[in-house]
Structure 1
Amino acid sequence: MESGAESSVHYDRWSESNINMNVEASQSTSRRIYNRVCTGSTGIIMKSAGALAAMVVIYIIGYVTGYYVHRCPM
């Protein structure tokens, strides 16, 4: 058996403050905006609003196209 002296080994590199544990600060700006806007309940609201806006745009394009295709000749 080995002596208990090995259990007293201390690694000083872990007690230095050169390890950055702040993940939020190390992320890019676009990633932070994505995490804030596109995840969780805010993300669900944003995706729903985006889908609704896309449907409205498609409806307007279809309405205008249908108007010009089906209008009566003069």
Structure 2
Amino acid sequence: MDSNTADAQYNRWNEDNINLNVAGTGVTGFYNRVCTGTMGIAVKVGGALTALVAVYMIGYVTGYYVHKC
């Protein structure tokens, strides 16, 4: 068997030619789009404000009923 032929066949399936970039699909793509960069900062700020308002409202309602009498 000729060694050049074997090298050519091996080079066709060389690991350097394999592209495993799947960043734009599925859960990974959703995470990259929503949790990183400017959009990620906006989502985190929005979530923090929502949590702050929810805690404030729970405290207000609780305080109202505790101090009602």
TM-score strictly above 0.5: yes
Q: CA deviation at 1:22?
A: 4.4
Matched residues, percent identical? 50
Aligned residues: 60
**How large is the RMSD of aligned CA atoms in angstroms?**
2.5
TM-score of the pair, normalised by structure 1: 0.66
Structure number having the greater helix percentage: 2
1:49 to 46, 51, 57: 46
For structure 2, which runs of at least 5 residues remain unmatched after alignment? 1-6
Which residue of structure 1 aligns with residue 14 of structure 2? 14
Corresponding position of 1:3: none
Return structure 1 stretches of 4+ with deviation > 6 angstroms: none
Could you tell me the TM-score, scaled by structure 2's length?
0.71
- How many Å separate the matches in 2 of 1:49 and 1:22? 34
Say yes or no: does 1:69 pair with 2:66: yes
